[in-house]
A and B are shown apart, each in its own frame.
Chain A
Amino acid sequence: MTGRRRSAQAGAGRASGTLAVVPDAKLPLRAKVASQVSRTAAALSRAAGRGDGSVIGGWIGLKIDPDLLKHLATGRQVALVSGTNGKTTTTRLTAAAVGVLGDVATNSFGANMPSGHTSALAKAGATPYAVLEVDEHYLPQVLAATDPRAVALLNLSRDQLDRAKEVAMMAQLWRTTLANHPKVAVVANADDPMVVWAAVASPSVTWFSAGQRWHDDSWVCPECGSHIERAENQWWCTGCPLRRPEPQWVVEDDGVLDPLGHWHKVTLQLPGSVNIGNAATALAVAAQFGVRPIDAVPRLARVTSIAGRYAQVQRDGRIVRLLLAKNPASWLEAFDMAERAPTLLSINARDPDGRDTSWLYDVDFSPLADGRPVLITGDRAYDLAVRLEVNRVPFRHVTSFEDAVAAIPPGRLEVIANYSAFQDIRAELNRVN
């Protein structure tokens, strides 16, 4: 099928010997020292219980050798995954799919800046492949450092606006970056106008369609400023030719349609239709490396929770499931995934979350007003309380995760939390992965 042909194309596009990985022994001396120190620091950090150790090691390594990431990426075939939402999960799924071909290095703890990439590659040792999740702001640097074969662009929406670049600026940054790297195969979301506008700067784009629940950052055309119309799954600018491209990879029911028109049923251990979309993206990226969907699909089914996301934990007779929701678009997705069961919402507004809670009003919480008990907690529970009152969602305030567990009968508890609130709860559950 397509696999063989794509594989041949891929081989032709690259210098021969790409599969020969540079082991540590062949790294320049400075990089070798940096790589070793990086691994040691990561191990120390883990041993000290300071975290996953996935950032500190890389940070130290990059201090010793600023080109360390480039050195560590040399000789590997790399895929990058970026976007506002779904990148950690899609990275894990893509790594599983590319794993059909051989060992894959990946930053599976969501440490998605160059320090995290450096740590991940140093820790993995020699692998022929790497799949890296990249913070959307860092795409230009990481693209330049790792010379990837493929880059997946998932979506762009508002996220921590008091510190992040606004959506249109981010799309512009991507667009400029892709125009400067015409050889990289781009795999992009046809349903997100901002992503499409960024991706069309590249001569080589494969489009996927995974649906999009969130539209509130793309009503205005990034090209000409006119209104963007939507009908069913189509969208088009009313003032210029920008419109939804025809996708080659499409989510259909509980499966994925590939470019040859073959439908593959996708069975995942991850909840929600949004993860079928992430699986479609992973299959499309893996195809750039020559992986056939038919070979990759069974591997996707083995992916369980990711850095605590979707993890299920038993606690005092309750089955607690953790859902991470960092921004309005991902809250909508979390509501889609959560079962109709007692639900705990937890909100913080610390630095990693953004200090501003205004986004609460960009989320419609009414899906929770279906009779399920709703509990709220977190540093900014009162912001949430006011929001839920306006949304007519009855709730009860609790001051800790423990109190939340005690407040519901044995059975399922869905937990939806933003970034640092999620980490707090994960810490209570012994850093569940």
Chain B
Amino acid sequence: MSTDESRIRIVWVYPDLLSTYGDRGNVLILARRAEQRRLPVETMEVRSDQPVPRSADIYLIGGGEDGPQALAAQRLAADGTLRASAESGSVIFAICAGYQLLGHSFFAKGVQCPGLGLLDLHSDRGPTRAVGELAGDIDPRLGLPPLSGFENHGGRTHLGRGVNPLARVTTGVGNDGTTEGAWFGKTLGTYSHGPALARNPALADLLLRWAIGADRLPPLDDTWPDRLRAERRAAVAAPAGRP
């Protein structure tokens, strides 16, 4: 829980290294959806040469290229805060390269690199790059509508017994063509890259609920996100929907 109980503290981890595809969107969307419920929020960006602040409510980790990904994993391991915070109940939401580095190991710049081991999974290189729409049915225990996103990654991720798949893939590749993403406790990772929460407002609300320990939040007017989701659903259903 946060040191200042009156605010939800959101920390964007290493945007200087891990922010290739509009990752800032997730920070903006969480903050906006909290503010619309009159929940005070504080957002912070932490650069890779700065210490990661302790006990934030939500940590966000974005996507990135091989080199920055390996460097980020190294610095986060040396920093140690993320692990301690996860153990004390902070929420971690990680995208793509950020998701991979939460596992035991990942493949970057031609070698297998050690990850943070916060999620029981490891990643290697797939036969082809997965680029395109990504959709799937989310683990029913999370009570969310289907995942909708765009993926762009060369890795494949293999889940251990200590994590749950976030979703069963209906379109695209995700982890391996069958499952997509992973979650354990309040740590959740996905290959739905960039501003993943823009197309998944219910997932954004789940992260906020986890952060404040609420079973539900007042509903918002989601007319535009709903239209976007419907339009994307129709696009992936159509035969020409994928490039």
A residues contacting B by CB (< 8 A) are 158, 161-163, 166, 168, 216, 219-220, 225, 227, 351, 355-362, 382-383, 385-387, 389-391
Contact = CB atoms under 8 A, between A and B. Distances in A.
Contacts of A220: 16-17, 68
Contacts of B225: 386
Nearest to B29: A390
In the complex, the 7 A-B pairs of residues with the closest C-beta atoms, listed nearest first? A358-B194, A361-B25, A361-B22, A358-B22, A382-B228, A385-B224, A358-B21
B227 A360 contact: no
Contacts of A382: 224, 227-228, 231
Contacts of B48: 227
Nearest to B229: A382
B193 interface: yes
Nearest to B35: A392
A356 B21 contact: yes
A385 B29 CA distance: 13
Contacts of B20: 158, 161, 166
Interface residues of B, number: 34
B71 interface: yes
Contacts of A162: 131, 150, 152
Nearest to B226: A382
Contacts of A158: 20
Given A162-B152, A382-B228, 18 more contacts: A158-B20, A166-B20, A356-B150, A357-B150, A358-B21, A358-B150, A360-B25, A360-B195, A361-B23, A361-B25, A361-B194, A385-B227, A385-B228, A386-B224, A386-B225, A387-B198, A389-B32, A390-B32
B241 to A, nearest CB: 11
Interface string B227-243: 11001000000000001
Contacts of B137: none
A165 to B, nearest CB: 10
A230 to B, nearest CB: 12
B231 A219 contact: no
Most buried by A among B21, B32, B47: B21
A161 B96 CA distance: 14
Contacts of B21: 161, 356, 358-359
Contacts of A161: 20-21, 152
Contacts of A389: 32, 224
A172 to B, nearest CB: 11
Contacts of A168: 65, 67
A227 B47 CA distance: 9
A364 to B, nearest CB: 9
Contacts of B195: 358, 360-361
29 contacts: A158-B20, A161-B20, A162-B131, A162-B152, A166-B65, A168-B65, A225-B71, A227-B16, A227-B47, A227-B49, A351-B243, A355-B150, A355-B243, A356-B150, A358-B22, A358-B193, A358-B194, A359-B22, A360-B25, A360-B195, A361-B23, A382-B228, A383-B228, A385-B224, A385-B227, A385-B228, A386-B199, A386-B228, A390-B32
Contacts of A391: 28
B108 to A, nearest CB: 13
Contacts of B228: 382-383, 385-386
Contacts of A358: 21-22, 25, 150, 193-195
Interface string B178-202: 0000000000000001110011000
Contacts of A166: 20, 65
Contacts of B198: 361, 383, 386-387, 390
A161 B20 CA distance: 8
B24 interface: yes
B132 interface: yes
A391 B47 CA distance: 24
Contacts of A359: 21-22
A389 B195 CA distance: 14
Interface string B24-51: 1100110010000000000000011100
Contacts of B67: 168, 225
Nearest to B20: A161
